[in-house]
Structure 1
Amino acid sequence: MRGPFAVTIGMKTALAVAVAAVTVSTVIGVLVHHLTQADQLATARSQLDRQLMDDAYDYAAARKSPARINPADLPEPVARAVRSGVRVTYLQGGAHPVLWAAAEVSDREVLARSRSYAPEARSLARLDRTLGAVGTAATVLVSLAGLLLGVRMGRRATAAARTAEDIANGDLDARVRPGGRDEIARLSAAVDTMADALGARLEAERRVTADIAHELRTPVAGMSTAVGLLAPGPASDLVKRSVQNLRRLVEDVLEVARMDARVASPETEQRQVSAMVRRAVAGLEGVEVRVVADTVVTTDPRRVERILANLASNALRHGAPPVQVEVDGPAVRVRDHGPGFPPDLFAVLHTSGPQRFRTTAPGTGTGLGLTIAVGQTRLLGARLTFRNHPEGGAEAVLRLPDQPSG
């Protein structure tokens, strides 16, 4: 389930590529900056030191030179180093950097030469701006490439996930049809293989179920005929009820098999909704019918009545009376006053739909009632929803289409 902001694989890939690009460009920029700065400073110091040596020869020959003797603005670190007998080059930082070169020419005199270091500073600043622009452009381009790659990977993964969800919801014809040889392609191929295997297994189960039901029709019909010849009594009544239950079960299984094989088709005609509701619940004790608004719809009345009968019977079996059937135009609500749908069954009803032969409690039915109701609803182009009523009990709402189903 996605929230208001879901981080996709494409976004993660693009973010990872962008972080890597920023890291690489930053490291390269810092390295180039420091190497260039060190090379500039070493070259400038070497040049100024050579000029200072020339000035020292000019001083010894009493010739004029740009160098100065004991300048007042000589930095204190330079003065201390020179007094120790060391020839010094020194970069004085600040808003206006100055490069110094100094040497001792006598016991009390220091020959010093200086020049502005601003040209090198400006050159280094231009280099930094160039590195920043190139790094930004490279980061943007690499990030876009990563985003495109991530989006492509995300789409392929999303397609595989959606196909798996469709298969889980009953669409066994859904396939991914992967391309490529990477991990996502292998995942997609595995989903398709799973769908093929699941479809083959379900088809085999459906055929077995349908064959068994067809084979049972003849003996069940014979049993029904034979039961009619029994003498009246408690034993014969029990046998009759058992045979009727067995016959209904066989018919339910055959109905599910026909819907699974997609050979069933609705036979539509115009009918009043309230009339179909009353016919559906006739003979069911504990069911109340209430008409809020009535209407005429074009549908298959036999299938609508089967849906409503299954819903009402399910409410009587698993809920508690009274079972209320409310007609409100094309919508029919079936509500009981029991504990409502159990949490596990309620979750199934809102994801993959009711599962055949699954009941809320053992010994309370075959679990085909809701399966048939949902299958018939889809065949009619109607909609069937389930919920737990705020005032208690389970509620199923059948909304019939205003137009006939295609």
Structure 2
Amino acid sequence: MRRPAFKNLRPPTLNVGAKVALAVAAAALCVAGAIGVLVHRTTAAEQLATARSGLDQQLLSAAKDHADGRPSDARVDPPDLPGPLARAVPDGLRVTYLQEGGKEPVLWAATRLFDGTVLAIRRSYGPEEESLAALDRTLAATGAAVTVLVSLAGLVLGVRMGRRATVAARTAERIADGDLDARVRPHGHDEIARLAASVNTMADVLGARLEAERRVTADIAHELRTPVAGMATAVGLLPPGRASELVAGSVQKLRGLVEDVLEVARLDSQAAAVETEEREVSAMTRRAVAGLDDVRVTVVTDAVVATDPRRVERILANLAANALRHGAPPVEIEVDGPVVRVRDHGPGFPPDLLAVLHTSGPQRFRTGSSTGGTGLGLTIATGQARLLGARLTFRNRPEGGAEATLRLIEDGGADA
């Protein structure tokens, strides 16, 4: 079965914009809550201090009136005097006490007279509590409004940062896919701008290294063509025999490898030209495998495509040869319109190779064999398909064996 790509296994995550917006909203909420708590406690303390001071002054006036025999709002030894207040009143000193827990809070002020009696005065503390509750509602509404406004500002900032980061990420993906001319336009002097500049620098360095690699590969292959051609000529002068056949076979393999390396160098340098003609897919397929044994071609439906027939035949020949070399015969090739499937009856692609084929494409000198080996067949086939605008995919069939599928573009521009 086809192995899912690794990117589909990643758990869903928030983007940078959403994370920034959430962080700003959380910070704004924390700041608004802290300020609200601070204002609440400060106001409550000031209100209580003011009320205590005012009631203490009333008690002082009431004590003078009591001493002069004038009526006042104070009471002597009131029965509802709170116990903690009665026990806490010393001789000649005034004490205030906030009684809570009833229908409404009550503020008391009391003092002990020289005869041992307690003179007390009380008033409701409800207005202060209502004022504090109104302040809390105002603080909550203001904090919520500020949090929403700051969150919106954070969202705008996060979206901008997310877009810039996304542009840098997409450019890096394009570079990874082979578009070494892709660049990011840095804006500003923040970390994302530095990231964009780093992506551009990475592309420059990677392009220079790949270009150096291409030149070395092409130069080596070009230098090898002459001695290999001389070796092929010299082999023809050897006397017939088993040794001559072994040398001739090795020279032929070396010659094919040199030609493959040159083909990869041309594909890498994008110097290859495409010569488009209209051809039947079945005819190109049969011509590609004409010299191969144990290969069966089945035509379900035929189609005429506008493509480079030489390159299509090279792709199919490489796929069939790879299937014969690393799979097991017979190799079955099915033509279904512009789609060509190459199947074998071997063990299939190794899981690690199949994962690489689904992500970055074939690696050079890595074959589809489960026992290892070297080769450029899949690399050349993939490069040729990319040059033609075709699509080449690989999978292991459920019933066993490897399968490569080439999807060409039909005449008229529709992708099959």
Moved more, 266-275 or 304-313: 266-275
- Using the size of structure 1 for normalisation, the TM-score is 0.90
1:122-159 deviations in whole A, cap 9, x for unaligned? 11111111221222222223333333333333333333
Q: Which residue, 398, 407, 412 being the options, matches 1:399?
A: 407
User: Which residue is equivalent to 1:20?
Assistant: 27
1:225-252 CA distance string (max 9 Å, x none): 4544555443443343333323322322
- Counterpart-to-counterpart distance in 2, 1:221 and 1:5: 57
Report Cα offsets for 1:287-332 as digits up to 9, x if no partner.
1222222222222221111110000001111111121111112111
Structure 2 CA distance, aligned partners of 1:79 and 1:238? 119
Q: Which amino acid counterpart does residue 155 of structure 1 have in structure 2?
A: R
Amino acid at match of 1:395: E
For the pair 1:381 / 2:392, whether they are aligned, the reply is no
Counterpart residue identity of residue 28, structure 1: I
2:359 is paired with a residue of what secondary structure?
coil
Counterpart Cα distance in 2 of 1:165 and 1:106: 92
Which among 44, 51, 58 is matched to residue 51 of structure 1? 58
Aligned match of 1:210 in 215, 218, 228?
218
Residues matched between the structures, number: 406
1:21 Cα shift?
2.4
The equivalences for 1:37-186 within 5 A come to 37-82=44-89, 86-93=93-100, 94-105=102-113, 107=115, 109-186=117-194
Identity of aligned residues (%): 72
Cα shift at 1:10: 3.0
CA RMSD of aligned residues (A): 2.6
Q: Tell me the equivalent position of 2:311.
A: 303
- Shift, 1:39, TM fit: 1.2
1:278 and 2:286 equivalent?
yes
Where 2:340 maps in the other structure, the secondary structure is strand
Of 324, 336, 352 in structure 2, the residue corresponding to residue 344 of structure 1 is 352
User: SS at the partner of 2:251?
Assistant: helix
Amino acid corresponding to residue 190 of structure 1 in structure 2: S
Amino acid at match of 1:31: L
**Structure 1 stretch displaced more, 226-235 or 381-390:** 226-235
The whole-number CA distance in structure 2 between the counterparts of 1:371 and 1:172 is: 19
The Cα shift of 1:364 comes to 6.9
C-alpha distance after superposition, 1:234-281 (max 9, x if no partner) = 344334333332332232222222222223232222222222211111
Structure 2, gaps ≥5 residues long:
1-6
Structure 1 pair 68–365 and aligned structure 2 pair: CA distance change class (3 A): closer
Conserved 8 A contact 1:279-1:305 = yes
Q: Distance in 2 between matches of 1:99 and 1:365?
A: 94
AA of the residue aligned to 1:325: I
Gaps of 5+ in 1: none
TM-score by length of 2: 0.88
- How far apart, in 2, do the equivalents of 1:229 and 1:363 lie? 37
Q: Give the drift of 1:84.
A: 6.4
Output the amino acid matched with 2:391: R
Task: Tell me the distance in 2 between the aligned counterparts of 1:335 and 1:240.
Answer: 31
User: Which amino acid counterpart does residue 185 of structure 2 have in structure 1?
Assistant: R
